Structure formats: structure tokens, C-alpha cells
Structure 1
Amino acid sequence: MSYLCGCYYLVVCANPYRRDVPPQKHHLPLLSSTIHSTILSTTSRTVLTQTFTNPTAQNIHECIYTFPLYDGVSVVSFTCRIGKRVLRGLVKEKEKARKAFDEAVNRGETAGLLEQIPEASDVFATKLGNVREGETVIVEIVYVGELKMSEGEGVRFTVPTKIAPRYGGGPAVMEGLNAQEEGGIKITVDVNVPEGSFIKGVQSPSHPIAVSMGTISTAPTAEPMMSRASATLSLGSTALEKDFVLVVQSRDVGIPKAILETHPTIQNHRALMATLVPKFSLPPSRPEIVFVADRSGSMQHNMTMLISAMKVFLKSMPLGVKFNICSFGSSHSFLWPKSQSYSQETLQYASDHLVHFRADYGGTETFGAIKATIENRFTDIPLEIILLTDGDIWAQEELFKYVNEQVEQTNGNIRIFPLGIGNGVSHSLIEGLARASNGFAQAVQDGERLDNCVVRMLRGAMSPHIIDYTLEVKYEREDDDFQLIDKVTDGMKVLLSDDKQAKNTAEKPAISLFDTSVNLEKEDLKGPEDTSFWLPDIPFPKLHQAPQKIPSLFAFSRTTVYLLMSPETIQRNPTAVILRATSAHGPLSLEIPIESLPIPAETIHQLAAKKAVQDLEEGRGWIYDAKDQNGILIKDRHPSCFDELVKKEAIRLGEKFQIAGKWCSFVAVVANDKEIAEKENKIVEQKSLVIGDDGEVLAGEFLRFIVYMVLGV
């Protein structure tokens, strides 16, 4: 049974003598489901709207709406329309958000709560409170994200349309969920590429589409341009049965770019996005390559694709490389006890082994197979794991933690390249594994060609291991004629002064051990609302890079690195970012000039914050590498509360930049209106500084203004 996006509520048994009967789930009918996305070069902005109705003759106290999102996207807006009431969400720490929601519902107000499912970062649930009889419910989610590279000069845009069944114990909110899908989903995608480039083609390997070249849906009568296109489903809508995939081919999407954005409400706060598809060539390495093939029951309909991929892999390897095959499900087994050298004889033996491949290994114990492969490796050469799976498991956190530890212990000599196969791939699993191990992930659906995809992954596995990439920011010269450079690595030492803490304690007045005003019976055992008040104060870096560790660069895979530049950074105009690394064949470097956006905005800040929070959720991030003034790692100095420090930092980022995640949620209540109005006023004031009274953008920046207005800022 597939878990489909949908909205449901619980009905408790009315018979007071049958309290043993569990609440029954009833689904609100889905009236319509629409997606409107805008692709701008290598990023996307999507508005997901689903409309339900309460057809019953009773008020629904609380209902739950579940849906999937593509891994790593940043939700930037959450709106609930219940009847005539429009509620807009704000991000708060998860427990505070739940409390605000519950209090509003208990007062009889309509309210909404959006949460990320802890077990998987690509599944969200929304609670709606007090839905009146006959009322219509509209939930609108807006999110932005990066796009995957496709073969050639292309980008790949994916819309997950169902929550696939996953092996293992899932969250309670998903139990028994099987929403209605008769309404299907309507999808429209507008494509814009920068001036000077043009769109070569738009196609979908997953669904039949209608494409309009030269125009977009929001401006159908505008003069046609080669930098615009629009795509819709040929049949108008599609059933929620597999991911919708769109591939856009355009010129110059791989040119390195660095874009600087100023925040509209946080004074002097900037964010930088640097993106590139590297073009360099180093002699290939001779690693050990192990193909970890998923032969669990869920792969029943995907075995043909898996076997085809394995055949291409085996025939494409160079002579002499050590290789092996690990089949897994509930258990695992290796083709050979230890990897063998690639030759005509071992190729034939492995090819004969593929004839016996069946989906007959039971459940999906991915962790056991990965762990056994790492423990079985040759320790004197790098290990490259190519994982072929439908990626459907709930227990992801444990796997990510193990891979993080192994990569660190081997100094980056282990990489994983997951290949998601089939129509229900968990992108959070395959992308999360790739991030943890410095590899990259790809996904193919039924009917897609996989030859180029397979060859690209094999080339990645043969690429040398480079793990010391660093990023620097170069600032413009002023009267002093000094060239100022900011290095991310300089911010990894934090000052924790025990003397200051002792002084503050000494200055506090003495507390009486016998205070007659104290009533112990009424004393609140819960303590202050701020549950992190007792944690040590860890200063965060003024120059915050995300991801904290730049992954391996591959000449056919896009890499994006963000910098959150606090007001404490050098307050000059940055002119370039410099990427450096070392290899056995000499130093590597690339200088990318910075383009500053003329309009204050939040998009790059929110993408950067999401990437930073994602690091923390998956067991990485700056706080894992931070040291005190004596060179002791923070995680070693405060081992008893380090998990709470990680959570505190993720909450700080989530609330500051309004990013939902594992520890932060959107809550939509009436009380938000005032705070949102104040924020919008600040944004209008900031934009008025760069837009004239007649609405024209100053300094000839009209093109870039339009480009960013497309992203919704």
C-alpha cells in the first residue's frame, strides 16, 4: 500500500463501553491539487496548493494533512485558508509551535501547524484545527530548492507525488494512511534562464507533457523569448503514482556563479551562494568498488532496471580495479569473500551471477549491508560503494550517523554513490547518504535511459579523493589599499571564558536557604519555558559556511556552497570567492567574481540556513568542528549536553531565517498577524531604498530585479 498525500481526521467510538476500539481515520475529499513551479537557471520556486472540504454535518476539532517534498528544499511559506479565514505561518521551536496551536484550538480558533516528520526529512504533516461543517480547507506550501544536474547542459526538476511505503517502523502519523487519489494533480512549470542564454529543450521522462517555447504561463501574451518556456501535463492532471520529472536543457548552466544577497530585515546581514560544475581532469585512482544491490521484496518491479544498470557498470570498469557485489534484503551476502581484480574471467563470473538476481531477500536492511561492506574493505585503498536501491526505509538517522563516523575515521577514504531505482524512491535517503559520504546521488524511473547515469557514477567513483576544499571571501580595496580576505576556517575557534562566568556568579546576591515566601507545594517542576537556559553559551561563527565541509567536486555534478555573513564580518563589498584544495598532482584553485543583487531579499538566506540545518540534522555542521580557545573540540568539552547544543543551534537558525525542520515548525494562528505585518513593513522600507517613487529600479538593475521577482522575493 502506498502512502499518499491527503487530509484526514480521527473519529472516536461513541460507545462509552468500547474504549478499546481505536479511533478511525476519515479522509476529507480532495477537490483539487495543483503545483505551480518556476525554474530560474539552477533553482526553483514551487507553490503546492491542495483544496479539501468538510462534507460532514459536524465540526472537525483537528485534522491532519500529509505530503512529500523533494529532499533539501526550503519551505518559505505556509498558509491555511479555512472558510473565509486566512492564517499565515511563522516558524517557531517545535514544542512552542505545538503549544501555540493547541492553545488556539482550545480557544475555538482556526489554526494550522506544519511539521517535518522526524524519521524522514522529505515527509511533512500539517494539523488543521477547528474546521467547521461544510467549510473548504486550502493548504498552500511554498518552497525553494536547488536543481539536480542532468546529462549534458541540463537540470532535473522533481516533484514527489506520493509517500512511498518504507521498510521498518514508521511514524504514528503515517499508520493506516491511504488517502483518496481520484482528483489527481495538476502541474505547471515555467522556465526562465538568464539573458544571453537560451533553452534548448524541455522534456519529461516520467509523464506526457505539453510545452510552450518562448512564453510562460503567468505572461502568455508577452513577446516570445528563447529564454522562456512553460510545460503542463498533456492530460491536464495525473494520478499520484510516481514522481513527476522535468529535464530542461539550456546553454551555460554550468558557468561558475557567486551571488550576494542582503537581508531585508536583519541589518547588515548578507548571504552568498556560490555554484559551479567543475571542469578539471586529474589521473583516475584505483579504488575498491563494491556494488550493494537491493534485492528486497519492494524491488520486485525494479529488478529489470537494477540488472540492466549492473550490466553497464560491470562492462565499463577499467582492468585491475578491485570489485565485489553485495546482495541485501533482510540479510546480505557477497559474491566473493574479498573483492577481486577486474579481468575477463571475473567479469564473466559476475555477469553469470546477475542471472540469478531476484527480489527474494525479504525486508530492506540497508544499514547491515553498508556496515558489512565497510568492515570487509581493503584498508590500504579507497572504498567506493555504489548502492542500487528503491531507498525505502524509515531508519535513516542511524545509518547517516554511522557513515559520518566511518568517513571521519578513514579521513574521507569512503564514498557512497546511491542510485535510486523505480517510481517511489526516498530522495532523503539517497541524497542524505551521498552528503554523509562525499559522493553524489542519482535517480531513474521506469522507462528512463540509465546508460549515461551509470557511467557518470562510475567516473565519480574513479575520481581522486580530495577532502581539504576551503572557501575564502575577497573584499574590495579601499583607501588603505589592503586586500582583505575572510577565511571560513578562521571562525572555528570560539572563546569560552570560565573567568567571566565565575565573575558573574560572584556578583549575584546570596540566596537564603530558608525563605518563608517560598511555597514548595506550588513550585513549578517544569522550570522556565526556555528549555535550553542551562546550556553553555557557544558563540556562532561570523562567517557560516553550509555545507560546513565542501564535498568532493566532480566534473559532471553541480556543487553549491553557501555563506551566511553576519554583521560582524568585514563591512566592505565582497568582490570574489576563492575555492582552494590540494591534490597529489598540485594545488587546485578557482576564483569566482561576486554579483550583488540590488534588491534586499531572503531567498539565498533561507537556502543557506536550510543547508546549515540539514548538516546539523544529519550529524555534521560547524559546531562539530568548533574548538574552544584551548583547541578542545566543543563536543569533547561538553559531551553530556552536546546533542542539546546541536538542537539549540538548529532552532536558532530556523527561527531567525524562518526555516522548518526537525526541531522547528510553522504555526499559523491569529496571533501571527501583527508580527507578520511588522516584518512586511520592514521589507517594503528596504526595497524603497533601491526602487524609485515611480516604481523603476535604480542604477539599471531592472533585469536582475525581474529575475528575483520571479523567485517571489
Structure 2
Amino acid sequence: MSNDQMKLTTQTSTMDCCGLVTAQKEPVPLKSIEVELEVRDHVATVVSTLNYENKEDQPIEAVFVFPLPGDAAVCHFSAKIGQTQIVAEVKEKQQAHEDYDDALSSGQQAFLLEESEQSPDVFCLSVGSLPPGESASIRLEYVSELAVQADEGLRFCLPAVLNPRYQPQGSEGASVKVTSVPASLVPYTLSFSARVSSPRQISKVESNCSLDPLQYLSTEQTQAAVKLAAGHKFDRDVEVLIYYKDAHQPTAVVEAGQASAKPGTLMGDPVVMLSLYPEFPKSVMSSVVSCGEFVFLLDRSGSMDFATTVDEQQETRIGSARDTLLLLLKSLPMGSYFNIYSFGSSYEHIFPKSVEYSEKTLEEALKKVEKMTADLGGTEILEPLKHIYSQPCIPNQPRQLFVFTDGEVGNTKEVINLVRKNSGSHRCFSFGIGEGASSALINGLAKEGGGHAQFITGTDRMQPKAMQSLRFALQPVVVNISVTWDLPKGVSVTSLSPPITTLFQGQRSLIYAQLTGQSSEAAEGCVTVKYSLADRPSQNQLHFSLKPAEDTGLTVHRLGAQTLIRSLEMEERDDDGKHDEAVKEKVVELSVQSGVSSSFTAFIAVNKGNGEPIQGPLVCRYVETPMANYNFCAMRSSNSLFPVPVGNTTVHSACYSSSFDASFDSCRREVDVSMIKQPPRDPLLQLVSLQKATGCWLLDPALATALGKTSEEVEKTKPSVVNKEVWATILALIWLHALKMDFKEEWELLAMKAVSWLRAQNAACVAECVEAGNTLLGCEVQKDVLGL
């Protein structure tokens, strides 16, 4: 096979199939998956072993496409054929392809692992010349940072699914294509074990899958182990949430360099990882910003009609997004501006340009939001983003963009690059809905847009996560951020992280830096983060020991290298999309030196044993999954990546039309909508929907119903000297505080609006109103608890 053929084959395979398939359209059965997770504080090291077996009577070449977390740094890849272990090395991508091609032509076994050109969270593994009857064990290791969730848990996700990547119309190349399968038909086993260690006590470990009981390995409860319960089918992402006591303490880890590496290089010098949690002055944080332009961008592709879990009784993704938009809109401050975009194969906007927030514009928007369904086909997010950025910014109204999608797009890098180019004019908050949402897309939007990313999976409620992001968006913008180092004489520092462009109260910021030079073991360093907040200069400091921590391996070095590689890759293309060769060379050099994957390198492993030259070309093909075996409309589970039996035949998940969302949409319309039972309206959302833009409630029958009372009861108990709106608003506040405290983070901002409105009325007899309201509703809420 020529180099050009090889490149074309590999690229086509990368984007056109999932699972491991042969040239004869037969699967290489995946027998088992073993995953070992080691978490140290907030860094994860993952070792995955995939075990295959060739049951054919001739050598095969196969291709396997699979997802990894978007910020994962792949740092080891090896294969074991029989008793022969082959360890891969990182090479420039073109060179790796040529070596792979040469090896196959010589009859040698070879393996090629590379990142998709469209998205950094999809990898393609080519397995060349696997002998008849032979087993192959493929070992993959990667490291990644664990994201902090709204409830302060650290989230690890092992992706089992890869949703169809929607390719923009008219673009070159097809999307990654996979199909769903019933969990009961997945024919391989998964073993998953995790070890957690931290300087702080481990409070608990939770998962969306059944776990064996947590075992503490130390009396201080700073080390623990946990396993997936027996019988787990790999039919969904495995999500693990880890909770530490006092999680918001700043930390520093200094890791010694590699003994065999040259001093002065990244791998030869110590690397420090700083985890900072800035604490802002309370006097500044007590007043939220009362201005801003809030632009909401909602995915209305066909897959948004799926439930967020495999439980069909759960609300659909689009339904949850509508409820979340209601809460967000009701919580916006008076004097701000807003607009709502929705997208699929095309896009729509409620207003031609952002409008001032008022009762009239709020009502108009909510009427249209209530009618939004998942009826816009595919997932083309680039065009609506371009339209949003083409709108001139409103003076003194900082733009805040909220993106909600369950999506996978084939042009992830292009989308993120657009956000980065416009990062000076806005902050971007992103929400990945459901399993399989691209972590590269969701995290990339927030990181490059100076905002915050959230993932909504399983039985998670979208509303509290969205409200946390709104609270971040309402924080004063932090400006003039600088990081300064105070190190002993003879020690210099080189930052591996891009400059910090955004800070939020209580939100973690990670900094990686290379330390060059010698210091005594007792030496100490100090880092100071300075910034301005609401025109007031502030700073936070962290002192740390320069003595390297023990037993950290090279995890911090690899994460530091990954951080620098991703930053350079972002810089690598100019506005015309042309390559900067100097930057590309630097990325390749860094990738090869650190052993961490990049978009310009690949892992190549060749077994240089006695191989017989292969006669004729090896051709990679993929398998069509017979759709007739399943009811297409009922396929609402996540998309499996791995081989599955259909009838008496095992096939690989492969070949989904890139117009999946559009196809699903046309199928969905054939279902009798009257047969779908609509869930009753949540009482909290019912009450929220009645609040006015100013923050007050009206005394009307709908409010009485939401409070569980009759109109006569509510009217009759009103103190005579109080006007109806004040009475209605106090009743709503009492109801929220008494009956919905578990959901306070969802209604806290709109309650603050209500309190501000009440104060502006200078209403008399507030204490009498609170007492009468408690009597009516059977509650005991104190006036000061309401903030009055």
C-alpha cells in the first residue's frame, strides 16, 4: 500500500467507523476491557487494556475508533501479541504513517494510534497484520485533570459512547458514525477499579453505575479504593464523583524531572502544578452585577428529544433545557439585555438583536421558548456563533454567552477557534447535556471563552448547574490578572500554562511551570496572583516547598506538556488557516520529548520479528449495521462504540448517517404526539413562571393554585393596609423558603430580585404580612430569613 493510500485509508477510517473491523468486513471480537484509575488529589491516571482475538484463518488489518476525555494527555501505548510486548514511540505523524506502511509491506505487525484531525477527544487505532488465531492485548495510558462540579465534587468520566458527530453541510469528510445497541447484547466484559489518594480526607465516592462499598486504606481516610459492582454492562459512560473535605484549599505539587532527561529541558527539570482558589473580598461579592448582555444558544437538533438517561420516564433534554431557560430568564437583572438563539441544521433567534430586559420582552421570549421542540435537524453550531459575534456589543453591557448542547460536531477545533478569536468581547458558559456530549467541545468553549463548563448526565438536574454559571456571570469581571513568582536565587521559572484570563470566586485555576536551576531541599517558593475587581486591587498568595513530592511519576510533567501543546496548537494556524511551521515543529519536538500525543504526532509500534511480505494491498473497510433489526424510533440509548451481536451475526457499530439528527426528527414526527404522556409541571417552576420581570408576583388565581390554596383563601387573609403585589410577593417568598429550601440554589437569584422590589416599595406592615402568610401556608419562616 502506498503512503497516499495509507493516509487516505486511515483518515477515512478515523471518521467513518467505530469498533475494530477487518478488511473482510468481519469484526475482531473485543473480549474484555480492563480499566484502572488512580486519582491523586485532582489528577487522574487511567490505564485501559483492550483484549482482542483474531479468529480468522489469515492475517488482518483492523481499525478501532474510540473517545477519550478532551483534555486527556495520552502518554503510553503498547501492544502484546502472544508473548511479545511492543511499546510504541511518538513520531511526527507523516513519519509514523510511513513507518506503519513499511511495516505492513514487510509482513510485520504494527500499531498506529493518532488523534482525529477534527476533534482532540477522538482517537483512531490501526492494528496491522494480526496473525490467525492470535490474541492482541492493547494497553493505553493517559492522564487528565478532574473538573470541579457545582457541588464541589471532582468528576471523572470514562466514555463508553460516541454520539454521531454532525458534519456541517458542504464540508469535506464524513462524521464519526456509530449506532445504538441494547445493553443486554454487549458481548464483552468491563472491569473497573479506582484508587484515590489526597492530602485531604475523602468524604465519599459516588457513581452513576453500581459500585462495591468504598474501602478506606488509611485511618486518616486519605486513601481509598473502589470497584464497579459485578455484572456491569459497558452500555453507558462510567461517571465517578469524588468528594474531599475542605476541597477549596490551594495546593502545590513539585515533581522531580526524569533522571535520564537532559537538565534544562521540560522533562529534565522539576515541574510545579499550582491549584489556586481565589477568595474575593466579601464587600465586593455582596453586590452582584446588575447589567450585561445575556445571549442563550440552545441546541434543537433531533437528539435533544432523547431522555437524559436510559429511563424513558425522565424528562427529555429539550424539556429540561426549556425549564432551565425559564429560571435563567426570570433571574436576569432589570436593566440588562438578552436574546435567545436556537440551532440545528439552521438557526433562529427570537429578536433581531438583543433587547432590554422588561416585562414585555420577557413575556414575548417565554411564549416562544415554551414552543421550542427538537425539530431543527442536525447540529451546526458554527453559523449561529458567527451571527452572534457579528452583532456589535452594547456599551457597558458585558456579553455573556450560554451554550446548551448534547452535541458532537465534526468541526470542534474550528468552533473553539472562533470562540477564542472573540474571547476579548465576551465570556462563554457551556453545558454538555447527556452521555456522549463532547468534552473537547464543552470544555473548549468555556476555556477559550473565559467562562465555565458544566456536564449534565444521568439524573442530574440542569437547573442548579445553570444557576451556578449565572452567578459566575453576574460576578464583577476580574481584570489586570498577573502571576508573579518569588523563588530562591539560582532558580528560574518558565510558565507552561497560558495566561489566566478569567477568575471566579471559589473556582479552581491551575498553573503549570518548569523550574530550572538548583535549590536546597528546605527552599521555599511563593506565587502571587494579582488582579483588579470592581476597581479594587486584590491579590492571593501561595507559599510552597520546592522539595519534589514522592511517587508522583511524571504525571505533572505530562499534564504540563499537554497544556503547553494545546496552547501552541491554538496559535498554530493564522487567520487564513495556514500552518505556522515553526510552531508546528515546536509542538512535535515537545510531543516527542514528553511522550504526550498531539495533533501533529502519532504513536507507532512495530514488531520487528520475522515477517513475510504481504502479497497485494491491505484495505480497511467498515461494516454496515443492519438497522432493520431494531426499531429506529425507539433507539434512545447512548451509542455504543464496541462490537455487538445482531441475531446470529456479530457486527461493529459503524456507519451512521451524518444526518442522524435530521433522520431522527422525521421519524419522531411520525409518532402520535397525543400518545406521549406529558409530565405534570413542577410546582417550583409553576411558581417561578408567574414572577414578573421586576421581581414581584401578582395576586391572581394562578398564584393561589401554585401555593396550593384557593383564590378566596389568599384574598381573605391579606392584611387590609397592604397592596396586592406586596402580599403576593411575600407569600411566594415564604413558600420558597419553607417548602423548597432543597432547591435554594435554583431560586436564590430571583428571590433576591423579589426582596429588592419589596424594599423599593417601602411597604408598611411587612412583619404583619409575614405573620399572616405563615398562618395561611402553615409555615414558620422568620422575616429576617426572607431578607426583609
- Same-fold call, TM > 0.5? yes
Cα distance 1:658–1:157, how it changes in 2: closer, same or farther (>3 A)? Answer: same
2:356 alignment partner in structure 1: 341
CA spacing shift, 1:344–1:142, aligned 2, 3 Å:
same
Q: 1:450 to 1:185 in 2, by over 3 A?
A: farther
| Match among 194, 203, 221 for residue 226 of structure 1 | 221
Deviation at 1:72, TM superposition (A): 0.6
CA distance in 2 between partners of 1:641 and 1:347 (Å): 44
Kindly indicate whether the alpha-carbon contact (under 8 Å) linking 1:4 and 1:179 is maintained by their aligned counterparts in 2.
no
Compared CA separation, residues 312 and 234, structure 1 to 2 (3 A): farther
Q: Is the 8 A contact 1:3 1:164 kept in 2?
A: no
Change (3 A) 1:185 1:460: farther
User: 3-state SS of the aligned residue for 1:9?
Assistant: coil
Structure-to-structure mapping, 1:65-214, within 5 angstroms: 65-168=64-167, 182-184=186-188, 186-195=190-199, 197-204=200-207, 206-214=208-216
Equivalence for 1:496: none
Hey, what does 2:760 align to over in structure 1?
A: none
- Post-superposition offset of 1:193: 3.5
**1:611 aligned residue:** 563
Distance in 2 (alpha carbons) for counterparts of 1:362 and 1:669: 44
User: Does the C-alpha gap of structure 1 residues 88 and 171 become closer, same or farther in structure 2, counting only changes over 3 Å?
Assistant: farther
Gap regions ≥5 residues in structure 2: 1-14, 264-268, 307-316, 610-788
Aligned equivalents of 2:292, 2:519: Cα separation in 1: 42
Q: Which amino acid aligns with 2:206?
A: Q
Counting only pairs closer than 5 Å after superposition, residues 264-275 of structure 1 correspond to structure 2 as 264=258, 265-268=260-263, 269-275=269-275
**Once the 2 structures are TM-superposed, how far is the Cα of residue 403 of structure 1 from its aligned partner?**
2.0
TM-score by length of structure 2 reads: 0.67
Q: Which amino acid aligns with 2:223?
A: R
1:8 and 1:65 in contact (8 A); partners too: yes
Which amino acid counterpart does residue 198 of structure 2 have in structure 1? P
Kindly provide the CA deviation profile for residues 421-472 of structure 1, in whole angstroms up to 9, marking residues without a partner as x.
1222011111111122111211102421223211111012222333532222
Find the aligned partners of 1:236 and 1:423 in 2 and give their Cα distance. Answer: 20
Partner Cα distance (1:365, 1:298) in 2: 13
Q: Distance in 2 between matches of 1:183 and 1:467?
A: 54
Which stretches in structure 1 are left out of the alignment for 5+ residues? Answer: 12-24, 216-222, 479-483, 487-541, 625-634, 673-713
Q: Is 1:306–1:421's contact at 8 Å kept on the other side of the alignment?
A: no
Q: Do 1:39 and 1:191's aligned partners in 2 also have CA atoms closer than 8 Å?
A: yes
The equivalent residue for 2:310 is: none
The answer to whether the 8 A contact 2:193-2:225 is kept is yes
- Separation in structure 1 between the aligned mates of residue 520 and residue 348 of structure 2, nearest angstrom: 56
2:388 partner SS: helix
Q: For each residue in 1:213-265, what CA deviation from the matched residue of structure 2 results, as whole angstroms up to 9, or x when unmatched?
A: 314xxxxxxx665223333333432233x322111111122211122222113
Distance in 2 (alpha carbons) for counterparts of 1:184 and 1:454: 37
Alignment partner of 1:350 is 2:365: yes
1:42-75 Cα deviation digits (max 9, x unpaired): 1111111111110111111x21122110111111
Give the Cα–Cα distance (whole angstroms) in 2 for the partners of residues 229 and 428 of structure 1: 29
Q: SS in structure 1 opposite 2:596?
A: coil
- Deviation track 1:487-542 (CA, whole Å, cap 9, x = no partner) reads xxxxxxxxxxxxxxxxxxxxxxxxxxxxxxxxxxxxxxxxxxxxxxxxxxxxxxx7
Sequence identity, in percent?
27
2:440 is aligned, of 410, 413, 428, to 428
> Pairwise mapping of residues 377-396 of structure 1 onto structure 2 (< 5 A)?
377-380=392-395, 381-396=397-412
Matching residue's letter, 1:290:
V
Matches within 5 A, 1:308-323: 308-323=323-338
Alignment of 1:497-646 (within 5 A): 543-546=494-497, 548-565=498-515, 575-595=525-545, 596-599=547-550, 601-619=553-571, 643-646=580-583
Is 1:327 aligned to 2:305, yes or no?
A: no
Distance 1:443 1:177, change over 3 A: closer
Larger radius of gyration: 2
Are residues 280 and 66 of structure 1, via their aligned partners in 2, closer, same or farther at CA, if it must alter by over 3 Å? same
The alpha-carbon distance between structure 1 residues 468 and 81, as it changes in their structure 2 partners (threshold 3 A), is farther
**Secondary structure at 1:661's aligned position in 2?**
coil
2:58 aligned residue:
58
Tell me how far apart the structure 2 counterparts of residues 209 and 3 of structure 1 sit (CA, whole Å).
35
Alignment equivalent of 2:483, drawn from 460, 471, 479: 471
Does the aligned pair in 2 maintain the 1:33–1:183 contact within 8 Å? no
Within the candidate set 253, 257, 266, 2:251 is matched to: 257
Q: Which moved more, 1:576-585 or 1:381-390?
A: 576-585
Q: Secondary structure at the match of 2:123?
A: strand
RMSD (CA atoms): 3.0
Quick one: structure 1 residues 573 and 642, their matched pair in 2 at CA, closer, same or farther if it must change by over 3 Å?
Answer: farther
Deviation at 1:352, TM superposition (A): 2.3
Cα pair 1:190 1:228 within 8 Å, conserved: no
* Partner deviation per Cα, 1:668-702 (whole Å, 9 max, x = no partner): 12479xxxxxxxxxxxxxxxxxxxxxxxxxxxxxx
Is residue 483–residue 530 contact of structure 2 (8 Å, CA) maintained in 1? Answer: yes
Partners of 1:568 and 1:664 in 2: CA distance: 33
Distance, in Å, in 1 between the alignment partners of 2:519 and 2:533 is: 30
Whether the 8 Å contact between 2:279 and 2:540 is mirrored in structure 1 is no
How many residues were matched structurally? 566
Answer whether contact 1:325 1:334 (CA < 8 A) is retained: yes
What are the superposed Cα offsets for residues 292-316 of structure 1, whole Å, 9 maximum, x if unpaired? Answer: 1111223221212212222222233
**Is 1:397 equivalent to 2:413 in the alignment?**
yes
Name the one with the larger strand percent: 1
**1:442 and 1:453 in contact (8 A); partners too:** yes
Contact 2:74–2:597 under 8 Å retained in 1: yes
Provide TM-score, normalisation by structure 1: 0.74
